[in-house]
Chain A
Amino acid sequence: MRPLAATRPRAEEPVAAKQAGRIPLLEREAPLGYLLVLPAVLYLGIFIAYPFVMSVGLSFLDAQAGSARWNFIGWDNYSKVDAYQIVANNFRIATFESEQEARALADQRKQGIVTTEPSGQRFKAVVHVAGNDVPLIEMDSDSDASFNASSVLQDLDWTVRGRGKKWEVIANTGENPITLGEFTDRSKMKEELKHDLLVEADTKVIAKGTGVLQDSNFPLALKNTFKYTFFTEFFKMLIGVPCALLLNRKFGGRRLLRGLLVIPWVIPIAISAQAWLWILDSTYSVINWTLTHLHILSPGHVINFRGDADYAMGSVIAVNIWRGFPFTAIIILAGLTAIPDEILERARLDGANAFQRFFHIIAPMVRPILMVSLLFSVIFSFTDFNTIWIITKGGPYDQTQVLSTYAYQLGINAGYLGKGAAISLFMFPIMAVMVFAMLQFLRRENM
């Protein structure tokens, strides 16, 4: 096949080419093309592909900042179980025919005592309350059995619950279930458990270990990442759509207004978030000041936006919405301006009201462009670090930790490079699935 460049009709061939009897390398499309793309490919290969491969490598090493030798440890950074723990909650102490009897038992638990007795090779703990003897637990050691039974009796909250015609006394532990034992072999556990507990209870198996999956902060960070992404994107749309519809009308100063609206998106978030830190300050928050003076809050009960776990997540989401909604609005606006006025005018003449025009004409026409921007937006929210790190640093008590901040905390601050890399890499397959889903959608939309 002849090079494409040569097929083009020409008045006169370049002199150099005529002399050489062929077209010079740089005059042919393919070699020139490869040459021009090469620097970009090399650069991205060195500075993206290589660190990415390195990241995968690090996640299989016990890499720690400052340690001289890093060993291959396989999947241990991802998951390494040292032991399984059985935890139990909601012990069904006793069942009665009447509510009165049940209440009497629950009320008198403070006077109850625990005794243990040998049962074959093991020991059985019995709780004696209000004339009832309840065999509770059976364990290998006398003291363990007695300790656990005493906790059930003394530390737990005993409540009475109706169930069918019967009344149950249930011992509830609240947030810290009682640990019944640790096992290294998961398969034996079920059997073991049957022998252990002599009353019914809700049991759960918890894997304890040093891997990321055994770290209780990891599922929290994962959940927060999704929460953060979902609510940010949802509210950005909710604010961005009406904003874009208003901006699409013709009015004086439209260009200026559009310019002003985009400012949150232009200013580096690390800088503008400082203003938010001050707005969300625990003592001098202007929001608290306003709410107090409107008598919505009393001065002693102001909101601690960053220090209170209930508000911290909402605060970081709000800051991210603030930063991102102008972008959403501008993208939707670009889609809106592409809709020819005649179509909307014709619809208006045909008697379509504003809602019908929005849902049947505007929304379908804006959808493709919106989905692409949503793809970007979701990925950037999902991997966002700056907003959360500056506003809460993942706190209070890791309650606003997302994958990226947790990776930083563990990988850079604590120096566990391998584990940090493993957490970062958890983002990758999730992102890949999202990108794939979006691309499939776009293909179906024929873009």
Chain B
Amino acid sequence: MTLWRRLKPHVASWAGLTPFLAFALFPFYWAVITSFKADANLYDLRRQPFWFSKTDGQSGQPYHKDIIVPASFRDGPVQWRIAVGAHTTRSDSEQSPAPIAIIGDQTVYSPVDGALARIDIPTGQVGHPNDVIGSIQVVPDSWLCDSFLSLCTTLTHYRFLASTPFYGWMRNSLVAGAFVVLITILISVPAAYALARLRFRGNRALGIGIFLTYLIPPTILFIPFSQFVGSLHIADKIWSLILSYPTFTIPFCTWLLMGFFRSVPKEIEERALLDGATRLQMLRLVVIPVVLPGILTAAIFAFTLSFQEYVYALTFISSTVNRTLPVGISVEMVRGDVYFWGPLMASAIIGSIPVVIVYALSLDWFISGMTTGAVK
């Protein structure tokens, strides 16, 4: 009884927040489950989609796909070059899929990824070209089947990413992010210190001016900026992003850091000056170590903001290999009207990892930065 009384407020709070949490996290759950589903399961509308399923919703059989081999396929004796159980990859998302079989001179591709389960072709039979001479049964890849809670899960979508420039996009995003953080910190830290602590004419106006530039969003500037980038001969190069991203990270981080510099007690500066340090020495040896958490927060934000950026990356970068992660995923993982949902979700999951790591390591700083950034 007393235990329940003690637990009640906790349970009530969790219960009240569950709908919000469900709304916030459902898309991630959905992406995760999609990225591990074999295509046959993924596109089976008869099975409930919230969990994995091993059998076909219509026939109740394990998922498989029959490839019907018409008689016209055969010109001579039917020959197989792939053994039963061999692993095959599907043809729709692979750039150069391996044929699962060669009949006569013609190659047969599997529409699903998986393993050959059964070959059922009577040999030596001659029929009308429209007749069916056999069928090839392909079951979805069961690489993880029976090994993980006996679910029918697959890693094909993740393996597929290796055949795309996905990891190149990841590298581009990380490299751009690292340079942007460097430029931002080098420029924002001194500016924020000067605006927060030094008295000079126009100090306040400059502070507000820098703040207002943060309110000019990329969507107003991307058209002239694309011309500007072209005239600097850095269009379609990662340098165009490294130079353009600080336009929004510098104002934001300067504003953020001003708050941190203001919270440093004036006395420690004065004491350092009394001890004979020059102002720059004082800044380097006394003030900066004190605001290091603030600088880290600013770096985290600079990285996150540049990792999230989309408009500039979409406009300035035109070749596939030079794209950043968000643009690469959204532009290159779709061919015409065909969305490769499995690989798309797999790339979304892997693509989120860098920000999630940064975020998990700095949760409290991050949230305090969110509020001070908006409030100061």
Contacts and interface: CB of A to CB of B under 8 A. Distances in A.
B330 A274 contact: yes
Contacts of A274: 31, 329-330, 333, 344-345, 347-348
With a 10 A CB-CB cut-off, give which of B194, B307, B333, B364 has the most chain A CB atoms.
B194
A284 interface: yes
A406 to B, nearest CB: 11
A37 B191 contact: yes
Nearest to B208: A439
B49 interface: yes
A150 interface: no
Nearest to B199: A29
Given A264-B24, A326-B24, A386-B310, A33 B200 contact: yes
B326 interface: yes
Interface stretch (B72-80, B113-121, B150-158, B271-279): B271-279
Contact of A334 (B23, B187, B375): B375
Interface SS of A by simple majority: helix
Contacts of B28: 263, 267, 272, 275
B356 interface: yes
Contacts of A261: 17, 20-21, 24
Interface size range of chain A in the complex: 35 or more
A247 interface: yes
Contact of A289 (B49, B228, B246): B49
Interface SS of B by simple majority: helix
B247 A48 contact: yes
A424 B21 CA distance: 36
B345 A51 contact: no
Interface string B245-273: 01100110010000000000000001001
Contacts of A37: 190-191, 194-195, 206
A255 B17 CA distance: 13
Nearest to A40: B191
A257 interface: yes
A243 interface: yes
A347 interface: no
B344 A249 contact: no
Given A32-B198, A270-B327, A386-B311, A407 B219 contact: yes
The 10 closest A-B pairs by CB, nearest first: A270-B326, A33-B198, A54-B224, A36-B194, A40-B191, A36-B190, A30-B200, A275-B27, A33-B200, A251-B13
5 contacts: A43-B250, A268-B351, A322-B27, A379-B217, A385-B311
Given A243-B20, A331-B371, 7 more contacts: A30-B199, A32-B198, A35-B194, A40-B254, A41-B210, A257-B21, A271-B326
Interface of A: 4-5, 8, 10-12, 14, 24, 26-27, 29-30, 32-37, 39-41, 43-44, 47-48, 50-52, 54-55, 57-58, 239, 243, 246-247, 249-255, 257-279, 281, 283-284, 286, 289, 293, 322, 325-327, 329-331, 334, 369, 372-373, 376, 379-380, 383-386, 389-390, 403-404, 407-408, 411-412, 417, 420-421, 424-425, 427-428, 431, 435
Interface of B: 9-10, 13-14, 16-17, 20-21, 23-28, 30-31, 34, 42-43, 45, 48-50, 186-188, 190-191, 193-195, 198-201, 203, 206, 210, 212-213, 215-228, 243-244, 246-247, 250-251, 254, 270, 273-274, 276, 278-280, 304, 307-308, 310-311, 314-315, 325-327, 329-330, 333, 339, 341, 344-345, 347-348, 351-352, 355-356, 359-360, 363-364, 366-367, 370-371, 374-375
